[in-house]
Each structure stands twice: as structure tokens, then as C-alpha cells.
Amino acid sequence: MPEIISPLFPEIQPYRSGHLSVDGGHSLYWEECGNPNGQPVLFLHGGPGAGLSPSHRQFFDPAYYRIVLFDQRGAGKSTPLGEYRHNTTPLLIQDIEAIRTMLKIDQWLVFGGSWGSTLALAYGEAHPSACLGFVLRGIFLCTQVEVEWFINGMKNFFPEVYAEFAAAIPSDERHDLLDAYAKRLFSDDPALYLPAARSWSRYEGSCLFLEPQASAVEAFEKEEVSLGLGRLEAHYMVYGGFMEEDQLIKNIDKISHLPAVIVQGRYDVICPPTSAFRLHAAWPESVLKVIPTAGHAALEPGTAAALVAATEQFKLQRRFE
């Protein structure tokens, strides 16, 4: 068989990292990689609550980009892990600005997938002058339709996975799975919130790839991932992302003058293509790239290649085509 060549850049390590204390007792882990004097780019991870992975550094040419990554409140190496209090979209936007100010960055390219695309759009609409452009994947606009799809719609493609997700809740509560999970996830009792977090994360991890990957499910079930992911996804879904309904489309004119590439897996069951097409229709100058053999995951070959191509094109041309 021919050797499969990864579209990603080689693995790299941060040249600087630290923790930034913000309000509500949260401490944010942040890191910088690549060229200290290069073009700044901000990576926003998904979830919310999923946290960073070393592979997230590899979408960018380290000789050209000054790569800034951070774990959002309650995620990854940020503390306290899984803390949903004092955790809202406006506060995350405030955190991004605090990091930009701390690092003395005037403008940066903003890169985000899934919930990271939600936060990228919300941040850009709040601070358009700080943004050079956007690379967005697996679009999630945080509307009620999308939340309902995540909780109940994925059963149309993964009925056995949904059955397991629902079975973790007593039958008399299954009419409202989001509420039932939230009650357990927001409990102070680990005997309640840890199994609920694992079940929630297993549900999502089982639906990530076009061809399910057992390793992804295993990774999502680990406490250091599942606690942040389960608690914070439910928290943001319960509260509609702390935004007005369809706010990101309604305010798209604030960033529509900026270049953007939207990368979307054709068979993304977690964030179906409808949202990417809605965003592109509202933002005609954006470029929509639909990957024909991909689900939701950023590391599926076609998706990863398109994301790297977007960062390369911005590097070379300072615009998207």
C-alpha cells in the first residue's frame, strides 16, 4: 500500500506558555508556537470544553505563523476543569481580548472549528478590527435547531449510539435529555456528574468521523476530556450559547468585509452542512469548501488538507480565493 502522507505540518512544541488569571476563579492555559516574529494566528478549540491537542499546532507553517492557542474556561489545562460557573460567550470573548492584549498583538487570523467556529464568529463580530480573516470548520451557529439536532437528530444516523446515550437516563426523564443530563452534569456529586460526562462525550466521540474511530471514543471518555466537554457543552446548549437566537447570522455584516474560508464535511452528522451553507449565503465573499468524504473531525484527511491549504493561501496571498 502507498504511504499515507499527512497534510499537517510536523509536530512542534511551544516556545512560551503560561496561565492567565481571569475573573470567577478561572485560570487560562495559553501557549505560543512557531515564529515569535511571524503573522499572529489564534486557534480556538471546539466543544465547548474539548481543550487543546498537540495536533492543533500543526495546521500552520511554523516558519511563518506566530501560533497562539489557549484552553478556554473549564477546558484542558485551564482550571478549574469542567467549571461552568462564570463561563459564558461574552466572558470567553473578553478572555481572547485579554490574551491579545497580554501578547501585544494588534491583529490576527482567527481559526476555529465546531464550537470554535461559533466563538470565532462571535469574537469577530464583537472585535472586527482585531481580525485579519477567518478559517472556519464544521459550522455551528448555536441555534435551537442545531441544539435539538445534536440531542435528538443524530439518532437518524447513529441509532445504536443514541440508544446508549438515552439509556443512561431513567425512562421517565428521556422526553428531555438535555435537561436530564444537565441536572446530573451540574451536580456537585462526582457519582452523578462523572458518569453523565462520560456518556455525553462517548455519544459525541462515536459520531465524529465518517468512519468511526475507536481511539476517538476512548479519548473522549477520559475524565480530563469528558468532564469539560460534557459539562460545558450542556451548559452552553441550555443557555443558547449566551447569545440571541441566530445572532451570528444577524450580525454577519460586522465581519463580511473580511476574508474567510469555510471547510465543511459533507457527512458531518454533529454539525450538518446546512449551517455552513447558511453562513456562506449570508457572507457571499466567503469561500465554502465542502469535503465530499468527511464527517465532523478536523483530522479527517480531506478536511485537514483543506484547512492547511487555507492557512497557506492566506500566508502566500493575504487573501482567500
Catalytic residues: 114, 268, 296
Q: Are 72 and 78 in contact (CB under 8 A)?
A: yes
Residue with cell 439509556: 167
Q: From edge to edge, which strands make up the β-sheet containing 287-291?
A: 16-21, 27-34, 65-70, 39-44, 108-113, 131-137, 260-265, 287-291
Alpha helices in 22-173 (DSSP H): 89-102, 115-126, 144-152, 159-167
**Exposed, middle or buried: residue 83 (CB in 10 Å: 0-12, 13-18, 19+)?**
buried
Half-sphere exposure of 153 (CA within 13 A, CB side): 12
The angle subtended at Cα 22 by Cα 32 and Cα 225, nearest 5°, is 65
Q: Cell for 161?
A: 449510539
CA distance 221 to 231: 13
Q: Are 283 and 252 in contact (CB under 8 A)?
A: yes
Q: Which residues contact 214 (CB under 8 A, 6 or more apart)?
A: none
